[in-house]
Amino acid sequence: MVALKDLSTPIKSNWCPGCGNYGILTAVKGALVELGLEREQVAIVSGIGCHGKIVNYVNVNGFHGIHGRVIPTATGIKLVNPELTVIGFAGDADQYDEGWDHFCHAMRRNIDMTLIVHDNQTLGLTTGQTTATSLQGFISKSTPFGSVTSPLNPIANAIVSNGTFVARGFAGDPRHLQSLIVEAVRHRGFGYVDVFQPCVSFNYLNTYQWFRERVYKLDEQGHDYTDRQKALEKSFEWGERIPIGIFYKEEKLTYLDTLPHIKGKSLAKLPIENVDIATIIETMK
């Protein structure tokens, strides 16, 4: 089983001091140790954005993909080698702007993987622009007079898209976030965790203090995460009080469960020596 020290890499972080990404990194490493996995059993994928560097800072199999395509890459890895624990990391622009279509369809496909979204409500890597989750009125380089559009609600969208594990954490509470990531990975199906991740350099609105004054934990309020209607109601709570924790969870067949010809088999391990594709290629000419 992996120990915390085995997950470190020699690569020096260039995230800004105080960035919420550090809380997520701490929670992820703690979750991998708690889950008792070996390094070789885990594959992580990231997209484009500050979050994407996380593949450099966790010593497991890693793939730094392109903008908005974390889910397709992670899906491919999982379908070809279902024995791997696959975790995708995306930013809010990465997933909720460029990668939005993948998000909704991943929910209903229920691939057995985990998605963690570093939701800092801005584009940090490109020095501060507005994203799909930026609040109305948010001032940035792309909206100098304030964003005029309403923010997207990813939690509500995940629930109505038939997501089977929908949760939200806060990078300022890594211990609680770790417990959510552990539950998401253990969930047999698509485990989704949106994380409030303060960007201390370019988002002066949604700060650690802003979140600390508002977030409360659903499990401490007796929320029943098996009730989809209640989960949906909770997903619309915003303002003075903002819930974090598991909104919704249900057990359902995974995508691979519905494909009997490859279920229980690892495509990566099927023998290919005697496969002759010449006939198929002939039909394509």
- The reply on whether position 201 binds ligand SF4 by CB under 6 A is yes
CB of 114 to ligand SF4, least distance (A): 21
Q: Which stretch binds ligand SF4 (CB under 6 A): 62-70, 162-170, 200-208, 248-256?
A: 200-208
Cβ-based nearer residue to ligand SF4, 13 or 157: 13
- The reply on whether position 158 binds ligand SF4 by CB under 6 A is no
The candidate with the shortest Cα–Cα distance to 163, out of 226, 250, 76, is: 250
Give the x-and-dash track for 41-80 against ligand SF4 (CB under 6 A): ---------x------------------------------
CB of 22 to ligand SF4, least distance (A): 9
- Site for ligand SF4, residues 1 to 20, rule: CB under 6 A: 15-16, 19
Cβ-based nearer residue to ligand SF4, 120 or 131: 120
Cβ-based nearer residue to ligand SF4, 31 or 125: 125
Q: Which stretch binds ligand SF4 (CB under 6 A): 93-101, 118-126, 157-165, 264-272?
A: 118-126
- Site for ligand SF4, residues 19 to 38, rule: CB under 6 A: 19, 21
Cβ-based nearer residue to ligand SF4, 16 or 152: 16
